[in-house]
Structure 1
Amino acid sequence: MAKTKMPPDRRPSTQEGDTVFASTGPVGHRKRMRQRVLAHGAGALADYELLEMLLFYAVPRRDTKPLAKSLINQFGSFSGVLESTPDALHGAGMPRGAAALCTQLPHVAACLVQDRSGERTYLGDWDSLLQYCNTALKVVERPQMRMLLLDSRNSLLVDEQLVRPTCGPEAEAEAEAVRQSVAHILQRALEVQSCAVVTVYLAEQGQDVRALLQSSAPFVAAMRQSAPLLAVSLHDHLVIGPEVWASARQMAPDW
């Protein structure tokens, strides 16, 4: 049977004094990671590796991989780390300077999405829509509803909070709240000459996104019925939690 050829940097040493790796210290490791980013972009790194690189500048001469993995384990995800408070991160072992920097990154990402030198943000496909929700809306207080009003090219015209109206007793109140919410969205769509709308409910930690999506069925039905009468298309209603999301369009076979 032919022997499998191993990559050059993983071959066992064949002579005394040879080493398997050119460098085993943090300097060599950091250099290799930077080279990966330069060659393939940050998307080539796992979440813990991105966090590991953020820690390079706060922990100059120590392996940051164990700390990065520990932080993700404690806070549940890379985004969970970034959304934590500086005190919580410092208590989990992150240096204070790095903790202060990390908690500002969601705000920086939101500014990058919103500041497009006057250009409108395109939201005409799943990737662009979810990226917007995970950046520009990442720092928005939860829970709340947003309405994204789009032009004929699916570029963003308006991103506003939709304040749920308060009405009278229960069943009647729910129907009236839906009616007023739909009326407000369509009125704003006409004011800004919007052709399409995406509504987004930003759920807080612990809320069941699928249950919230099911409870919003009367609102979605009312929007789907009323919007076309004004030449406005409801592209979707999304419920987005800190880690998961659900789409009314994907759940409705007759959309």
Structure 2
Amino acid sequence: MGAADHKGKTEPHYHGHRDRLRDRFEAGGPEALQDYELLELVLFQAIPRRDVKPLAKDLLGQLGSLWAVATAAPARLVELGVPRNAAVALSAIGAVALRMSRQQLLGRPVIGSWQQLLDYCQGAMALEPVEQFRLLYLDRRNRLIADEVQQRGTVDHAPVYPREVVKRALELGASALILVHNHPSGDPTPSRADIDMTREVAKAAGILGVTVHDHVIVGRGSHASFRALGLL
């Protein structure tokens, strides 16, 4: 039972829980809270009159991680019982986190920020339900000047057109490229089609003086680098 106020009314039991959770976060930072508790803090703001702990735990159980919750489409969150305003708020947090990560990379040499680049690509693409083909354009000093999604495809294919890849590189004045795409299956192992496509792009780019540094395939929690595998 909650504590009675001066009018004899009883506060819902979760009011004290919310205050305690906020106090723990302020005192100990995010490391003081479990994932579902961090999710609760966000849900508090959008759902003021409800115990959101069961919802937070259910979302993590259904989707698997904080990142999966924050990057899920609002419609999917609504399907899982999240009110529309809270679903939009959660998705906005994911979008902000991803955009901040990209802004940290733009203008920086990717060689010195390789793990950060991989983390960004994992966040942006690993949970995509269909294949997405992303191009990272670099200047002469290997600084990232643009990050663009060229194609979205099906669960196992995204069409790639070498001519369009090279054309865009020339438009941006890029000297080098990194190709990135995801495998929705979660297994980043390159397919024969992936290998052939990469060689076609590298050949077309090389003719015009644009270098393909790498092709990274993103899986769920893992990746494959063509350069590291000796495929490029």
2:220 counterpart of 1:239: no
Bigger relative contact order, structure 1 or 2, given CA contacts below 8 A and separation 6+?
A: 2
Residues 145 and 202 in structure 1, CA contact (< 8 A), matched pair in contact too: yes
Per-residue CA shift, 1:154-173, capped at 9, x if unaligned? 32223334359xxxxxxxxx
2:165 counterpart of 1:198: no
1:226 is displaced (CA, Å) by: 5.5
User: 1:235 is aligned with what amino acid?
Assistant: H
Q: Work out the number of aligned pairs and report it.
A: 209
Once the two structures are superposed, the pairs formed by residues 87-236 of structure 1 within 5 Å of their partners are 87-113=75-101, 120=107, 123-124=110-111, 125-134=113-122, 142-162=130-150, 181-204=161-184, 207-211=185-189, 213-224=191-202, 227-228=205-206, 230-236=208-214
* Structure (1 or 2) with the larger CA radius of gyration: 1
User: 2:57 is aligned with what amino acid?
Assistant: K
After superposition, the Cα gap between the structure-2 partners of 1:106 and 1:246, relative to the gap in structure 1 and judged at 3 Å, is: same
Unaligned runs of 5+ in 2: 1-15, 153-158
Unaligned runs of 5+ in 1: 1-23, 165-176
After superposition, the Cα gap between the structure-2 partners of 1:98 and 1:60, relative to the gap in structure 1 and judged at 3 Å, is: same
Query: How high is the sequence identity, in percent, across the aligned residues?
Result: 32
Per-residue CA shift, 1:19-51, capped at 9, x if unaligned? xxxxx84422321123222xxxx4775543431
2:11 counterpart of 1:31: no
Residues 146 and 160 in structure 1, CA contact (< 8 A), matched pair in contact too: yes
Partner of 2:121, secondary structure, is helix
CA RMSD of aligned residues (A): 3.9
Counterpart-to-counterpart distance in 1, 2:51 and 2:129: 35
Compute the TM-score of the two structures, normalised by the length of structure 2: 0.66
Counterpart-to-counterpart distance in 2, 1:25 and 1:192: 53
Compute the TM-score of the two structures, normalised by the length of structure 1: 0.62
1:102 is displaced (CA, Å) by: 0.9
